[in-house]
Amino acid sequence: MKVLILAAGYATRLYPLTLTQPKPLLPVAGKPMVEHVLDNLAPIGGIDRVYVVTNAKFAGQFQEWSERYRAAKAKLDFTIVNDGSTDDSNKLGAIGDLHLVMTKEKIDDDLMVVAGDNLFSESLQDFGRYCREKNAPVLAVYDVGNLQEITKYNSISIDASGKITFFEEKPKNPTSTLTGIALYYYPKSTLALIRQYVAEGNNPDQPGRLVQWLYQRTPVYTWRVPGIWFDIGSKENLAEANTIFAKLPPAAK
């Protein structure tokens, strides 16, 4: 299995913190955000390479970080992929970056995709187990608790088996507080559909749009994220995450 970490954004809402440092390398509770992500993915097992897709501005920083992380953990092999963008005006978008890595690195394997700024308080080992059992696309979901929050993300409905029956990106009138987050599993058999999505000229940004397109063509299942999930998008929730994650027991960090 391969893992792709999406880390090519410019995080302008976090300026000046992200003027000279990419958001996933900002520290939370004493270590970079992306290390929280990887430490929670590591227990899944069977991951033989981690791709980090970033931009021309920060590719060097990710390369240096990955070498330090690998030396300390000695478990994961990394490939840093530079998407060539230099600012928001020429970025490829999350799905564009996914397609770039699939093409450039000739990926022909099961693929797990996660945003580098997503924080989880608990291990994702059960996510990996569920994905292997289903051998179908899987979207991680989280209950954000109120309908107003949902308008920032997406709104979904699922059946008794956990399969998506409705998905709407950035809903105006959501009816559910369950949202899909930037943690996805695409088995090898569905990679051709991702290529089709891009070839048809669909929106290359917002990775949820791929799910919105995909579930109407093949079954897409869901897995509920346990514990706490944070999507770091502002200085306020970065500060909140620092406070909360600093209090977690060492095993959860």
* Of the candidates 110, 114, 133, 132, the residue with the CA atom closest to the CA atom of residue 36: 114
Average pLDDT, the chain: 91
Spans of the chain, pLDDT less than 70: 74, 250-253
For the segment 28-63, what is each residue's pLDDT rounded down to a tens digit? 999 999 999 999 998 898 899 999 999 999 999 999
For the segment 132-149, what is each residue's pLDDT rounded down to a tens digit? 999 999 999 998 888 887
Give the number of other Cβ atoms within 10 Å of residue 165's Cβ.
11
pLDDT at res. 107: 96
pLDDT at res. 250: 60
pLDDT at res. 74: 63
* Of the candidates 118, 202, 199, the residue with the CA atom closest to the CA atom of residue 153: 118
